[in-house]
Amino acid sequence: MNNFDSYRRNFLSIVGITAGAAASVTLAPNLLLREAQAKPDDEAVTDAKRWGLLINVDKLEDGGDACIAACKKEHGWGDDPKSNQAQDAQWVRKVKVTEKLTGHSFSLPVMCQHCETAPCVDVCPTGASMKRADGIVQVNKHICIGCRYCMMACPYKARSFVHETLVDQRPNSPRGKGTVESCNLCVHRIDKGENPACVDSSPDAIVFGDLNDPDSTISKELEQNGGSQIRADLGLNTGVRYQGI
């Protein structure tokens, strides 16, 4: 009886591993290439990692339209029925830049830049605007009082205020009337070991990874080819970097 159980366990293990490996390779080939690893829910976030994005504007043929659409779909913003255009939320937007002297023009997606020394975190009276140890800047909606001081302080206009009651929200991204919101780097996906939605929408142009790890793809690319910050003069050491701007 014992020998039979042992045989059955071994057989099932081999079948399971083989099937799992086959499914991984056929159904989600890029899953194995991801650098983010799933974090158990009860494990505290540490500063061992610092998540970042590297956006190559030259490779973004649509100027960021696809990643904006992916962000909208993931978080459900952008079509608040009662708000006017100036009041509607905008977690990420496509900005067209034309240099005055040369006329050189390009478009890029601008979202929360996940600053190391984030002005929005400094000014928030309750601590709702917070930076996780792994560098993700986000809003704790349970304690946000909706004072909008963080919106005044953000140099990138990356934050939006929810102007109305919302229904039918995404379970992973609850949005609350009267609170402030912004790109959270798809923290719910990162904690599951997945890429942010914008990265998966434009895998050739956007690299996501750990800036603290010198062997990560993003760090190697930044070391080799560099990456610019928007308003680098402010000294905010942003987690979002750009190439081709």
Q: Which residues would be at the binding site for other proteins (CB under 8 A)? A: 80, 82-90, 93-101, 110, 119, 121-128, 142-149, 151-157, 159-165, 176-180, 230-231, 234, 245
- The amino acid that residue 93 corresponds to is R
| C-beta closer to other proteins: residue 179 or 201 | 179
Q: How far is the CB of 208 from other proteins (least distance, A)?
A: 22
| C-beta closer to other proteins: residue 69 or 153 | 153
Inter-residue contact 147 to 139 (CB < 8 Å)? no
Inter-residue contact 110 to 198 (CB < 8 Å)? no
- Paired strand residues for 156: none
Inter-residue contact 67 to 92 (CB < 8 Å)? yes
Q: How far is the CB of 31 from other proteins (least distance, A)?
A: 34
| C-beta closer to other proteins: residue 176 or 213 | 176
Q: How far is the CB of 194 from other proteins (least distance, A)?
A: 27
| C-beta closer to other proteins: residue 130 or 220 | 130
Q: How far is the CB of 76 from other proteins (least distance, A)?
A: 17
| CA quadruple 23, 25, 27, 32: dihedral, nearest 10 | 110
CA distances from 161 to 68, 111, 149, 182 (A): 18, 14, 11, 9
| C-beta closer to other proteins: residue 158 or 190 | 158
The DSSP code sequence of 20-78 is HHHHHHHH-GGGGG-------TTSPP-TT--EEEEEEGGG-TTTTHHHHHHHHHHH--S
Assigned token pair, 101: 């002297």
Q: How far is the CB of 59 from other proteins (least distance, A)?
A: 20
| C-beta closer to other proteins: residue 16 or 125 | 125
Q: How far is the CB of 111 from other proteins (least distance, A)?
A: 11
